[in-house]
Amino acid sequence: MNKTIKVLELGQRDYKETWDFQEELFQRVLNIKVQNRRESKNLPTENHLIFVEHPHVYTLGKSGDLTNLLLDEKQLAEKGATFYKINRGGDITYHGPGQIVGYPILDLENFFTDIHKYLRFLEEMVILTLAEYGLKAERSEGETGVWLDVGTPFARKICAMGVRASRWVTMHGFAFNVNADLGYFDNIVPCGIKDKAVTSLNVELGKAEIPMEEVKAKLKKHFTELFEAKLMES
C-alpha cells in the first residue's frame, strides 16, 4: 500500500480549471486500478492533496437545491462570482479568497475502505487545528463539516465538506474559512441549512488576518498523523 501523499500547492486558481485538474488525477488513479484488476497486476496508485484558493464561486452538489442560490446571473456577475453544478455530494457552498480549500485525491485502499471514517478524519483534522488556536470545534449530528457552539442558538459552521468517491478513490474535499469574506455567504442558504450561521477563523480570534501558511501547516500535520501517511511536498 502506498501511503505517500503528494502535496500540490496551486495558489489562486480558477474553480473550473482546478476541477478539470482534479478529474484528470482522479481518472489516472481509476485507470491504474482497472488495469490492475483486468491484468492481475499490482501497480501502485498515487495519492494527492491539492491546496488551492479560488476566486469567488458558488458550487452546487448533485443532490443540492438550486433555490438555495439567492442570486440570478446578473447579480452573480455584479459580485464577480461564478456558479457551477458539480458532481460531489452535499448542497450549495461558497469558495473565495481567504479560504483554504483542500482536495484529497486518495486511493482509500492504501489506507482504509470506509467513506464515513474518511469524512470523520477530514473533520478531525480541522477540529485539531482549531484546538491549537484555543477554539472548541465539533461535529453537528447529521451535518457534515466542522462547527462551533453546536446545540446552541449560536451554532456556526467554519468548514464545509463535500466529496465524491468511486472504486474507493476520492475527490473534492473541504473548504476552511480562515480569512473569508462572510458577506458572500449571504447570497446562499449554505449547505441548504437555513437556521445556522457561518464564521471564519479570523472573526473567531478577533484578528484582521490569520497567516494562511501557518494554518495550512497545522492542517498538514494533523492530516499526516490521522492517515498515518507521509506527505511529499512538490
Could you give the dihedral angle defined by the CA atoms of residues 142, 121, 174 and 146, in that order, rounded to the nearest 10 degrees?
Answer: 50
**Chain segment 11-25, per-residue pLDDT in tens:** 999 999 999 999 999
Q: Could you give phi then psi for residue 136, rounded to 5 degrees?
A: -95, 100
| Residue whose C-alpha is closest to residue 189's, from 122, 94, 104 | 94
List residues forming the annotated binding site for substrate. Answer: 88-95, 160-162, 173-175
| Rounded-to-integer distance, Cα 16 and Cα 19, Å | 5
Q: CA–CA distance from 2 to each of 27, 51, 187, 227, 229 (Å)?
A: 17, 20, 42, 12, 9
pLDDT for res 91: 83
Q: Is 191 a catalytic residue?
A: yes
Q: Which residue among the candidates 106, 158, 163, 191 is catalytic per the annotation?
A: 191
Is the model's pLDDT at 55 over the cut of 80? yes
CB 96 within 8 A of CB 55: yes
**Chain segment 173-230, per-residue pLDDT in tens:** 999 999 999 999 999 876 555 557 899 999 999 999 999 999 999 999 999 999 999 9
Every domain of the chain and the residues it spans? 4-233
Is the model's pLDDT at 44 over the cut of 70? yes
pLDDT for res 61: 87
pLDDT for res 192: 54
Superfamily of domain 4-233 in the CATH hierarchy: Bira Bifunctional Protein; Domain 2 (3.30.930.10)
